[in-house]
């Protein structure tokens, strides 16, 4: 346990150091653009799995949280010229509030009803933003990036580092939850909510907590996107593709371990980047859909589950 | 701006629109309402049926409603196969996360259908031609498009037919029985899975006519199913799961609500109506207005 933690934090520090030093070795801009998108998906997938994986509540509203993150940043930037850190912190707060509301919804809704309600939430929020002139309405809004702060050479490089920080934060939280009583409680309520409640698991408190954490992380991951694209419009900020991607990456990676969503997001995210560049963005959505269906049908435990199975079989072969 | 005439217009159009919404929700009312299948791909199947109608109309000149009837048997078989796959991979295996994966499965299917339509037909809107499309019936100052009247009549007939089928025929009663208590049916020597498969086939077959109406009422595009996730689920949940007449009433409520908001606040608020209604119903009265569950 102790040694695992040391390994994890060393790995995280190394990862951040590499990202921070990358601008000095890589002159080409493209890896940063692609890397940013992949990192963003890792954060979203990990955040999704906190509620969807541990607690078994399928959230189709990733795009609602993501979009709210984007628009919190847009609003603060336009209203007060707030710096990036403030934008992200505020987005996380908004996401946490939304998560709290969503958590209360789970009181009355489970299974498919919860999922449909999250889609509903997305559309209702998207429509409200579309009708809000101040942040650009349906046409969207252009944003001018402020000058970059010294240690970084370019704004995109800084955004990549910021997103990497968010990823480390999300993974650390997810890992903590998995190893603590929170994760065990969530798994108990996933298996049988009534039984968990009866044996003294504070199910509502846990569900609300999971929703708040998951929501805050999703919105935080969305906030830098406004400055990354220098543009925001409701139909792309609240695009359902974010919801499907987060869900697919988590399930394909496997939700039994915190590493699952990370692996899923890296694999699918890089495949998507390749496909978008080489073929077309439609094909990459198709690949996502097909992979999702294949995995839920053929490998319900995801890649992590497959690896475990192979390892077990090997052991049996030896013994 | 606001006048009584305008409101009356909105209500009349809303009722017609509502009947149309009922027609596109009937299949889901069976699949989700009676069979408890988390059929998020229902609107995607619907749009797919519309494109099939479009092809038959555009290239063979077949009337859209007739085209809808022609594809019905194929949809029935498609429904049988879809339920079989769903049953074998999720319901039969069970497990704590079968529900999660079932929803993800249908969501994935919906996405695949969307993209395949985009790859085949592009993202442009498609529409059909028929003698009753584009003309309107005038009563005084009011102008009612014939296509809505056609949708209204066909939707009404479809609802009555399905309600009769479920209450009068042997198979229909069996479907309602399987929805009430699957185990009891098994004890009496019937095979509940066969019945559910049949019911899912019917639910999908209905989409032939529903899809024809969808493309008659307005042009369709590949991602139209996203808007109809809200509308169809709103109608089915509001109706109380599995009630056909309830579906009709709930759909009319939705149609009138959308039509009034459209008149008063403009089209940009329209997408949120069904979802807001749905959220409200789920939060206040999850068993629906005509619910069979307490």
Q: Distances from the Cα of B193 to the Cαs of B159, B241, B262, in angstroms?
A: 25, 20, 43
Average pLDDT score, chain A:
85
Instruction: Report the percentage of chain A scoring pLDDT > 90.
Output: 21
DSSP annotation of B126: B
State the virtual CA torsion across B141, B147, B150, B156 in degrees, nearest 10.
-90
Q: Contact A248/B278, CB-based, under 8 Å?
A: no
Instruction: Report CA torsion sign: B137, B18, B227, A63.
Output: positive
Evaluate whether residue B234 is within a structural domain. Answer: no
Phi-psi region of A77 (alpha: psi -120 to 50; beta: other; left: phi over 0): alpha
ipTM for the assembly:
0.81
| Nearest CB neighbour to B271, from listed A60, A127, A297 | A127
The answer on pLDDT for B294 being more than 50 is no
CA atoms within 13 A on the CB side of A309: 10
Quote the distance between the C-alpha of residue A207 and its chain's center. 18
Average pLDDT over residues A308-316: 84
Residue of B nearest to A57 (CA): B100
pLDDT single digits (tens) A72-121? 999 998 888 888 888 999 999 999 999 998 888 777 777 778 888 888 88
What are the residue ranges spanned by the domains of chain A? Answer: 2-240
Evaluate whether residue B21 is within a structural domain. Answer: no
Burial of A171 (0-12, 13-18, 19+ CB in 10 A): buried
Q: With contacts defined as CB-CB under 8 Å, which chain B residues touch A287?
A: none
Confidence of residue B139 (pLDDT cuts 50, 70, 90): confident
Q: Contact A115/B40, CB-based, under 8 Å?
A: yes
Q: Contact A115/B103, CB-based, under 8 Å?
A: yes
pTM above threshold 0.90: no
pLDDT at A167: 93
Q: Distances from the Cα of A204 to the Cαs of A175, B159, B279, B280, in angstroms?
A: 21, 40, 20, 21
Nearest to A146 by CA among A251, A237, A227: A227
Residue with the two structure tokens 């929805």:
B179
pLDDT single digits (tens) A151-170? 777 788 888 888 999 999 99
The answer on pLDDT for A195 being more than 70 is yes
Nearest to A70 by CA among A206, A235, A188: A235
Q: Contact A119/B105, CB-based, under 8 Å?
A: no
Evaluate whether residue B272 is within a structural domain. Answer: no
Alpha-carbon gap, residue B257 to B16, rounded angstroms: 12
**CA distance to partner chain B, nearest, from residue A65 (Å):** 17
Q: Contact B237/A119, CB-based, under 8 Å?
A: no
Confidence of residue B89 (pLDDT cuts 50, 70, 90): confident
pLDDT single digits (tens) B210-250? 999 999 888 898 888 888 888 898 888 888 767 788 888 89
**CA distance to partner chain A, nearest, from residue B78 (Å):** 17
Confidence of residue B77 (pLDDT cuts 50, 70, 90): very high
Query: Is the CB of residue A161 less than 8 Å from the CB of residue A19?
Result: yes
Residue with the two structure tokens 């989409």:
B207
DSSP annotation of B220: B
| Nearest CB neighbour to A289, from listed B112, B269, B271 | B112
Evaluate whether residue B99 is within a structural domain. Answer: yes
A101 touches chain B (CB under 8 A): no
Q: Distances from the Cα of A33 to the Cαs of A28, A163, A166, A275, B189, in angstroms?
A: 10, 12, 16, 15, 62
Alpha-carbon gap, residue B195 to B273, rounded angstroms: 35
Total number of domains in chain B: 1
Residue of B nearest to A189 (CA): B96
Query: Is the CB of residue A259 less than 8 Å from the CB of residue B119?
Result: no
Longest CA–CA span in chain A (Å) reads: 68
Query: Is the CB of residue B269 less than 8 Å from the CB of residue B24?
Result: no
Phi, psi of B137 (to 5 degrees): -105, 130
The answer on pLDDT for B276 being more than 80 is yes
pLDDT single digits (tens) B63-73? 889 999 999 99
Q: Contact A109/B109, CB-based, under 8 Å?
A: no
| Nearest CB neighbour to B233, from listed A116, A124, A293 | A116
Q: What share of chain A is helix, strand, coil (3-state, %, to 5)?
A: 80, 0, 20
Two tokens, residue A278: 């080489």
Q: Contact A117/B229, CB-based, under 8 Å?
A: no
Alpha-carbon gap, residue A261 to A179, rounded angstroms: 16
Q: Which distant-in-sequence residues (6+ apart) come within 8 Å of A232 by Cβ?
A: A70, A71, A74, A135, A136, A140, A141, A143, A225, A226
DSSP string, A95-111: HHHHHHHHHHHTTT--H
Instruction: Report the percentage of chain B scoring pLDDT > 70.
Output: 94
Query: Is the CB of residue A108 less than 8 Å from the CB of residue B279?
Result: no
Nearest to A289 by CA among B40, B149, B161, B201: B40
Evaluate whether residue B196 is within a structural domain. Answer: yes
Q: 3-class SS at B142?
A: strand
What is the interface size between A and B, counted as CB pairs within 8 Å? 127
First to last CA, chain B: 44
Q: Domain of B79?
A: 27-225
> Cβ of A291: how many Cβ atoms within 10 Å?
19
Evaluate whether residue B279 is within a structural domain. Answer: no
């Amino acid at each position: 346990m102790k040694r695992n933690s040391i390994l994890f934090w060393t790995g995280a520090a190394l990862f951040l150091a590499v990202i921070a030093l990358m601008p000095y070795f890589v002159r080409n801009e493209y890896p940063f653009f692609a890397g940013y998108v992949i990192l963003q998906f890792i954060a979203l997938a990990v955040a999704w799995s906190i509620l969807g994986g541990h607690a078994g509540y399928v959230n189709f509203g990733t795009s609602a949280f993501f979009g709210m993150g984007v628009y919190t940043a847009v609003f603060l930037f336009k209203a007060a010229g707030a710096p990036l850190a403030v934008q992200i912190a505020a987005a996380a707060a908004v996401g946490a509030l939304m998560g709290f509301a969503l958590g209360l919804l789970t009181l009355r809704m489970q299974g498919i009803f919860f999922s449909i309600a999250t889609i509903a939430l997305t559309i209702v929020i998207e429509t409200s933003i579309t009708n809000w002139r101040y942040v650009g309405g349906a046409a969207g809004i252009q944003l001018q990036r402020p000058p970059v702060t010294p240690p970084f050479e370019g704004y995109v490089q800084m955004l990549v580092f910021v997103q990497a920080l968010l990823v480390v934060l999300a993974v650390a939280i997810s890992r903590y939850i998995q190893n603590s009583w929170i994760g065990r409680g969530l798994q108990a309520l996933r298996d049988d909510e009534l039984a968990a409640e009866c044996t003294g698991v504070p199910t509502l408190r846990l569900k609300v907590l999971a929703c708040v954490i998951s929501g805050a992380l999703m919105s935080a991951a969305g906030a830098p996107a406004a400055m990354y694209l220098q543009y925001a419009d409701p139909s792309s900020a609240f695009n359902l593709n974010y919801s499907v991607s987060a869900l697919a990456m988590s399930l394909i990676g496997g939700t039994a371990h915190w590493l699952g969503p990370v692996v899923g997001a890296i694999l699918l995210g890089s495949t998507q980047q390749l496909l978008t560049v080489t073929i077309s963005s439609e094909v990459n959505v198709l690949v996502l859909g097909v992979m999702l269906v294949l995995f839920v049908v053929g490998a319900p435990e995801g890649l992590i589950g497959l690896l475990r199975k192979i390892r077990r079989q090997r052991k049996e072969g030896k013994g | 701006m606001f006048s009584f005439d305008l409101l009356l217009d909105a209500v009349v159009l809303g009722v017609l629109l509502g009947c149309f919404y009922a027609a596109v929700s009937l299949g889901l009312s069976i699949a989700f309402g009676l069979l408890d299948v988390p059929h998020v791909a229902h609107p995607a199947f619907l749009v797919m049926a519309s494109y099939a109608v479009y092809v038959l109309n555009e290239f063979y000149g077949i009337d859209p409603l007739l085209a809808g009837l022609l594809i019905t048997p194929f949809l029935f078989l498609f429904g049988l196969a879809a339920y079989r796959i769903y049953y074998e991979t999720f319901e039969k295996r069970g497990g704590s996360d079968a529900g999660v994966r079932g929803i993800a499965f249908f969501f994935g299917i919906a996405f695949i259908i969307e993209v395949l339509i985009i790859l085949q037909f592009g993202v442009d809107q498609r529409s059909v031609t028929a003698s009753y499309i584009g003309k309107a019936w005038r009563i005084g100052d009011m102008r009612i498009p014939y296509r809505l009247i056609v949708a209204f009549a066909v939707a009404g007939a479809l609802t009555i037919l399905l309600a009769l089928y479920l209450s009068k025929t042997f198979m229909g009663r069996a479907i309602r029985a399987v929805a009430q208590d699957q185990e009891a049916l098994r004890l009496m020597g019937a095979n509940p899975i066969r019945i559910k498969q049949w019911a899912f086939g019917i639910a999908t077959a209905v989409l032939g006519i529903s899809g024809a109406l969808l493309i008659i009422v307005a042009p369709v595009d590949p991602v139209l199913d996203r808007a109809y996730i809200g509308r169809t689920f709103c109608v089915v949940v509001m109706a109380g799961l599995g009630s056909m007449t309830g579906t009709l009433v709930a759909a009319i409520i939705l149609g009138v609500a959308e039509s009034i908001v459209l008149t008063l606040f403009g089209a940009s608020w329209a997408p949120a109506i069904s979802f807001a209604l749905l959220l409200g119903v789920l939060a206040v009265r999850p068993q629906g207005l005509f619910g069979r569950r307490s």
